[in-house]
Structure 1
Amino acid sequence: MIHTSLPPKFGDVDVIIAGGGTAGCILATRLADADPSLVILVVERGRSELASEVFHEGDDGNGYQADLKNDALRWFVSKNQFEGTKKYRTVGCANVLGGGSTVFNLMNGPPSRWDFESWEGSGWQAEDLIYSLQKRTDVASTIREAARMKSIPPMPIESQFMTSAAKRAGWVDAQHPSDIDSMNAIWRDSDQVPDQEQERKSAAAGHLLPRINKMTYPNFHVLVESFVQRVLIDENNKVTGVEVYSPAAQSNDEERSLTVIKARKLVVACSGVLGTPLLLEMSGIGDPSVLDRADIPVVVPLPGVGNGYRECPTLDYAYKTNLSPGQTTDAFTKGIMTKEDLYNNKHGLQDLKLNTVTGKVRPSEDEIEQFGPELRKVWDDHFKMHPGKATTEFQLSPCHPNPIISDGSPCMGITVLSSSPISTGCIHILEPFGENPIVFENGYFTGEGGSLDLKLHVWMYKKQREIFRRMPCYRGERPEMHPPFAADSPAACIETTEPLPEDVEDIAYTAEDDRVLEAYILQRAWGMWASIGTCKMLPTEKNGVVDAELGVHGITGLKIADLSIIPGNLSAYMHNQMALLIGEKAAEIILKKL
Structure 2
Amino acid sequence: MPISNKIAHGVDEVDVIICGGGVAACVVAGRLAAADPKLEVLMIEGGENNAGNPLVENPALFPQHLVPASKTAVWYKAKKSEQLDGREYMLPTGGLLGGGSSVNIMLFVVDGETRREAYAKCTRYSRPAKGDFDTWKTPGWSTEEMMPFMRKLETYTGRRDPAYHGNDGPLRVTNESFRMKKTEDDLLRAIEQLGFPIIDDLQDTAIGNLGFERQVKTVTTEGKRLDAATAYIHPLLNDGQHPNLHVLCESKVIRVLFDEHKRAVGVEYTPNPEYMIISTATERARMTVKARKMVVISCGALGSPLILERSGVGSPDILEQASVSLVADVPGVGSDYQDHNLVFWPFKTNLGPADTLDALWSGRMSPEEAVANRLMQYSGCDMHGKYRPSKEEIKEMGPEFEKHWKAEYQDYPSKPLMITASAAAFVGDPSLVPAGAYYSLGSYTAYPKSRGHIHITGPNWEDPPDLETGFFTEAVDVTKQIYAYKVIREMMRRTSMYRGELPIGHPEFPAGSEAVLVDLDAPLAGDFEKPLGKIKYTPEDDKAIEKFLRKHIGTTWHSLGTCAMKPRHEGGVVDKTLNVYGTQGLKVVDLSICPENVAANTQITAYTVGEKGADIIMRELGLADAKQEGMNLNGCAH
Query: What is the TM-score with the length of structure 2 in the denominator?
Result: 0.83
Q: How big is the shift at 1:571?
A: 2.8
Deviation of 1:307 after TM superposition, in Å, equals 0.9
Aligned residue runs from structure 1 range 418-567, under 5 A = 418-433=445-460, 437-446=464-473, 450-500=474-524, 502-567=530-595
Cα displacement string for residues 15-35 of structure 1 (whole angstroms, at most 9, x for unaligned residues)? 111112222122112212222
1:364 counterpart = 2:390: yes
Q: State how far apart, in whole Å, the 2-side matches of 1:529 and 1:561 are.
A: 17
CA contact (8 A) 1:54 1:199 kept: no
Asked if the contact 1:454/1:521 (under 8 Å) is kept, the reply is: yes
Partner of 1:294: 322
What code does the residue aligned with 1:530 have?
H
For 1:305 and 1:415, the matched residues in 2 are separated by: 31
Distance in 1 (alpha carbons) for counterparts of 2:564 and 2:346: 37
1:569 maps onto 2:615 in alignment: no
Distance 1:99 1:247, change over 3 A: closer
The one-character-per-residue Cα deviations of 1:483-517 (angstroms, maximum 9, x if unpaired) are 11233332221112233354554333232222111
Q: Decide whether the 8 Å contact of 2:184 with 2:383 is kept in 1.
A: yes
The C-alpha deviation readout for 1:85-128, integer Å capped at 9, x for no partner, is 55421111111122122224414323311322223333211112
Q: Report the equivalent of 1:136.
A: 153
Q: Confirm or deny that 1:411 pairs with 2:435.
A: no
Q: Does 1:163 align with 2:164?
A: no
Quick one: which amino acid aligns to residue 192 of structure 2? A
Contact 1:119 1:126 (8 Å CA) reproduced: no
Q: 1:384 aligns with which of 395, 400, 410?
A: 410
> What SS is found at the alignment partner of 2:305?
helix
The question of whether the paired residues in 2 share the 8 Å contact of 1:155 and 1:327 is answered with no
Distance in 2 separating the partners of 1:55 and 1:256 = 29
Contact 1:54 1:205 in 2 (8 A): no
Write the distance in 2 (CA, Å) between the matches of 1:94 and 1:588: 25
SS in 2 for 1:163: helix
Worse-matched range after superposition: 248-257 or 465-474: 248-257
Distance 1:270 1:178 in 2: 26
8 Å contact kept, 2:123–2:219: no
Which has the larger displacement, 29-38 or 256-265? 256-265
Alignment-derived partner of residue 173 in structure 1? 198
Q: Is the 8 A contact 1:535 1:545 kept in 2?
A: yes
Structure 1 range deviating more: 383-392 or 248-257? 248-257
Distance 2:517 2:216 in 1: 32
Q: TM-score, normalised by structure 1?
A: 0.89
Q: Please state how far the C-alpha of 1:402 moved relative to its aligned partner.
A: 2.9
Instruction: Output one character per residue of 1:377-434: Cα deviation in whole Å (capped at 9) or x when no partner.
Output: 2222222222221111011233333353343412222011111111111100122349
Please give the alpha-carbon distance, in whole angstroms, between the structure 1 residues aligned to 2:70 and 2:99.
Answer: 14
Instruction: Provide the secondary structure at the position in 1 that maps to 2:132.
Output: helix
**Which of 374, 397, 401 is the aligned partner of 2:400?**
374
Q: Judge conservation of contact 2:146–2:612 (CA < 8 Å) in 1.
A: no
Counterpart in the other structure of 1:110: 127
Residues 18, 269 of structure 1: 8 Å contact kept: yes
* C-alpha contact 2:300 2:591 (8 A) present in aligned 1: yes
What's the % identity of the aligned pairs? 34
- Cα distance change, pair 62–110 in 1 and its aligned pair in 2 (3 A): farther
Q: Would you say 1:234 and 2:259 are equivalent positions?
A: yes
Question: Which segment is superposed worse, 77-86 or 392-401?
Answer: 77-86
Match of 1:93 in 2: 93
Report the counterpart of residue 76 of structure 1 in structure 2. 76
Structure 1 residues 130 and 470: CA distance shift in structure 2, 3 A: same
Match of 2:231 among 180, 183, 206: 206
Stretch deviating more after TM superposition (241-250 or 541-550) = 241-250
**Is 333-342 or 267-276 further displaced after alignment?**
333-342
Matches within 5 A, 1:326-345: 326-338=354-366, 341=369, 344=372
Q: Is the 8 A contact 1:321 1:411 kept in 2?
A: yes
State the Cα distance separating 1:254 from its structure 2 match.
Answer: 5.9
Distance 1:85 1:436, change over 3 A: farther
- Greater Cα shift, 149-158 or 279-288: 149-158
- The answer for unaligned runs of 5 or more in structure 1 is none
Paired residues of 2:56 and 2:103 also in contact (CA < 8 A): no
| 1:489 alignment partner, SS class | coil
2:379 to 337, 343, 353: 353
SS in 2 for 1:583: helix
Residues 83, 519 of structure 1: 8 Å contact kept? no
- Per-residue displacement from partner, 1:22-69 (whole Å, max 9, x unpaired)? 221221122122222222222111122x33436797x33276777975
CA RMSD of aligned residues (A): 3.2
| Aligned partners of 1:160 and 1:472 also within 8 Å | yes
The residue number in structure 2 matching 1:24 is: 25
Contact 2:174 2:218 in 1 (8 A): no
TM-superposed deviation, 1:193:
8.7
Cα gap change, 1:206/1:148 in structure 2, threshold over 3 Å: closer, same or farther? closer
